[in-house]
Homo-oligomer: A and B are copies of this chain.
């Protein structure tokens, strides 16, 4: 029997794998428009925990999905995630200079190039999903595209970022409003990550439902953990400026609940997420570990 790899090992492996796939899918730095290709690569390669693609690969694993299908879907999702970071970091939005310990895309290039790089990544994500290499059944490819677009669009991630920007002038948001905001801004993409394997594997409704519930809980736990890191994290490990929310007077889970209750809430959500996986066998062990990791990480 092959031992289950540790989560850290598996995440590291996914990171390497994903860089290779992204490198193949991203346009080479060539032509008179090379600058935007370079910025897309800067934004998408070598960065982050790759949590969303990891979730795609792991849920695909539950249903025996072909490696290439899972990898391309994971890469497309990561492109959407990276585009959102590039646009969110712009001076007109959150105005961040540092991301993953490096200058943000617009600091490394310029605002115009960063806007275009984000646009290019978002567009490429859909091109990748539409390609026949992603799945032999075009119905499945269309389902992936529709779900990703809904998760990322104006009633999902983009809408969440809109609320978040407006929240800076509305420090009186309550826990329900913050939960909704985060569900849109980060939750929907995590939900897509956990659904993607089920869509690719044409999983039965009940299993899709269990994965959606799992995603919902880890998504919220993830955000609470982020808010905790912003207050009690180590800036060097996190790789970006901290205490931004507190300085901006923004309502967060931590400002509303306090550190202890926020932490307890995140732990409760993680326990609940793991219970949603009860119908899966040991193939879901890394997903169970991931739920724990989400609140135990230091970056």
A165 contacts which chain B residues (CB < 8 A)? 112-113, 116
How distant is A151 from chain B, measured CB to nearest CB, in Å? 9
How distant is A291 from chain B, measured CB to nearest CB, in Å? 28
Chain B: CB-nearest residue to A26? B154
Binding site for B on A (CB under 8 A): 27, 31-33, 35-37, 40, 83, 87, 90, 92-93, 110-113, 115-120, 122-124, 126-127, 129-132, 137-139, 141-143, 145-146, 149-150, 152-155, 158-163, 165-166, 177, 180-181, 184
A149 near B123: Cβ-Cβ < 8 Å: yes
Chain B: CB-nearest residue to A30? B155
Chain B: CB-nearest residue to A33? B159
State whether A126 and B112 are in contact (beta carbons under 8 Å apart), knowing that A154-B27, A159-B31 are contacts in the complex: no
A271 vs B150: C-alpha distance in the bound complex, in angstroms?
43
State whether A152 and B123 are in contact (beta carbons under 8 Å apart), knowing that A87-B115, A112-B93, A159-B33 are contacts in the complex: yes
How distant is A94 from chain B, measured CB to nearest CB, in Å? 9
State whether A36 and B113 are in contact (beta carbons under 8 Å apart), knowing that A122-B119, A126-B126, A142-B130 are contacts in the complex: no
Chain B: CB-nearest residue to A40? B154
Task: Pick the contact of A92: B36, B112, B159, B181 (CB < 8 A).
Answer: B112
B87 near A163: Cβ-Cβ < 8 Å: no
State whether A124 and B149 are in contact (beta carbons under 8 Å apart), knowing that A116-B158, A180-B32 are contacts in the complex: yes
A163 near B122: Cβ-Cβ < 8 Å: no
A110 contacts which chain B residues (CB < 8 A)? 92
